[in-house]
Amino acid sequence: MTDEPSPPIRYVQRNRRNGQTYLYFRKGAYREGPLLSPDGSEALRAEVAAILRRMATAETAAKTPRPNTIGGMLSAYNRSAEFISKARSTQRAYQDYIDEMISDLGDVMLSDVSQAWLRALRDDSAPRGHRAANLRMQVLKNALAPAIDDQTDDRISGDPFLKLAKVKRPHALGEPHPTWTDDEVSAVLEECLRRGLPGLARAVGLGRYAGFRRQTICALPRSARVPTRASDGSEHIRLLWLTEKRKVACDKREDPRLTALIDSTPDRGPTIAYNDRGQPFRERGLNQSLDRVLLSLAKAGKVRAGVNAKGELTCPLDIHGLRHARGNEIAESGGSDAEIMSHLEHATDRAARIYRRQASRRRLADAAQDRIDQSVRAMSKKDA
């Protein structure tokens, strides 16, 4: 307590009552006081410094998860090679869930993690949407893997994630990333060229005829197209690139349909695809440009249409559906899992198996219809 004015010291607040000035420490929401040292004195500076040290120690302790807790495993996963090796976009998405779970579940002991506990956690997350719930569980599974995989580690009993089903996508949402038909691809390419958007047409071509993801479509430079000569003397172009998502090497012969599209459109920037200003697409900008074209074609009845919750006309197609069209095309042509995986730069064969299974079901369905057609013709001849 003092009445003498003095140079201010940071975080010291003065409150005057009954002719006296009382000193308080105030930083953010934290408040302490009245302080004992005289205003402006070295003793007051030392008192404030001591408070700041206590706050820093408490903050560090709060951020340091206890051992054998979910928070400890999540913090370790955040620094692991497995996490660092993921694409930056995946890291950013995972980081949100890591921070959230450290806050919500950080003090839960690993010995308390069971399948029943995980099931309850999954169900609590389900109202946020199937994708958010499943991603949350995937991040947690990755973080807890060292304690689960190590047979000598008894902090978690067995594998609580085994046979734990994911939250299913609601049927009302329809198919994610619907596969484009060839007629829809042709309609969009024609509309892009009619509107003077050759760079957007190229983006569609890279998705449909090369099976590239959106990130690669936006970043693929013109230098990735390398003219080569085959052993038989024929000339063709190879696409050489390291994909953005999984860092998988792309080395494949360019589809003649893509070559024809690129040769018939101008080069206007460093990348193969480009926006209406001749600059590389940003992912969001590519989505918006394509959505505008698709919506106009949906209104004209040239591509499939849908209706949103507000009753407004929409088009369910998106850029990733072009990649599905390419995968299905390879599978329906008899491509193996390894061929699909190599052509689409997959890190695993999981998606390739899905494409091949879909192609097999379509062939079997067509074969069944062929049998029905033959039976109907046979019955018609008999009746005649």
26 shares a domain with 74: no
Q: Give the SS3 label for residue 264.
A: coil
What value does the mean pLDDT take over residues 181-201? Answer: 97
- pLDDT score, position 1: 46
What value does the mean pLDDT take over residues 217-232? Answer: 93
129: domain CATH number is 1.10.150
Alpha helices in the chain (DSSP H): 42-63, 70-78, 81-84, 88-105, 115-125, 130-149, 182-194, 198-210, 214-219, 256-263, 283-299, 320-332, 337-343, 350-383
Q: How far is CA 295 from the centre of its chain?
A: 24
In a domain, 268, yes or no: yes
Alpha carbons 221 and 239: distance in angstroms, whole number? 10
- pLDDT score, position 172: 60
Alpha carbons 334 and 89: distance in angstroms, whole number? 33
Closest to 247 measured CA to CA, from 91, 373, 110: 91
Q: Name residues whose C-beta falls within 8 Å of residue 189's C-beta, 6 or more positions apart in sequence.
A: 201, 204, 205, 261
252 shares a domain with 134: no
In a domain, 1, yes or no: no
Q: In angstroms, how far is the first alpha carbon of the chain from the final one?
A: 115
Domain termination site, one of 21, 39, 63? 63
Residues 2-39 as b/e (b if ≥16 CB within 10 A, e otherwise) read beeeeeebebbeeeeeeeeebbebeeeeeeeeebebeb
191 shares a domain with 108: no
189 shares a domain with 293: yes
Does 141 score more than 90 pLDDT? yes
255 shares a domain with 139: no
Number of domains in the chain: 3
Residue 164 CB coordination number (10 Å)? 13
Q: Do residues 250 and 239 lie in contact, with contact meaning Cβ atoms separated by under 8 Å?
A: yes
286: domain CATH number is 1.10.443.10
- pLDDT score, position 384: 67
In a domain, 262, yes or no: yes
Does 65 score more than 90 pLDDT? no
Residue 85, CA distances (Å) to 11, 88, 202 in order? 42, 9, 30
140 shares a domain with 245: no
Percent of the residues in the chain that have a pLDDT greater than 70, as a whole number: 94
In a domain, 377, yes or no: no
144 shares a domain with 54: no
272 shares a domain with 351: yes
What value does the mean pLDDT take over residues 160-180? Answer: 82
pLDDT tens digit sequence for 121-131: 999 988 888 88
Domain that includes residue 27, residue range = 12-63
Residue 45, CA distances (Å) to 40, 49, 50, 77, 279 in order? 8, 6, 9, 40, 56
Q: Residue 6 has what DSSP assignment?
A: -
Does 6 score more than 60 pLDDT? no
76 shares a domain with 59: no
Domain termination site, one of 117, 143, 173? 173
Q: Residue 24 has what DSSP assignment?
A: E
Q: Do residues 4 and 42 lie in contact, with contact meaning Cβ atoms separated by under 8 Å?
A: no
In degrees and rounded to multiples of 5, residue 251 shows phi and psi of -150, 90
327 shares a domain with 194: yes
In a domain, 376, yes or no: no
pLDDT tens digit sequence for 344-367: 998 888 888 888 888 888 888 988
Whether pTM exceeds 0.85 = no
- pLDDT score, position 32: 86
Alpha carbons 72 and 78: distance in angstroms, whole number? 10
In a domain, 383, yes or no: no
Q: Looking at this protein, which amino acid is placed at residue 92?
A: R
142 shares a domain with 265: no
- Class of residue 275 by CB neighbours under 10 A (exposed 0-12, middle 13-18, buried 19+): buried
Q: Do residues 318 and 290 lie in contact, with contact meaning Cβ atoms separated by under 8 Å?
A: yes
Q: How far is CA 96 from the centre of its chain?
A: 12
292 shares a domain with 263: yes
Which residue, chain included where needed, has tokens 């690129």? 262
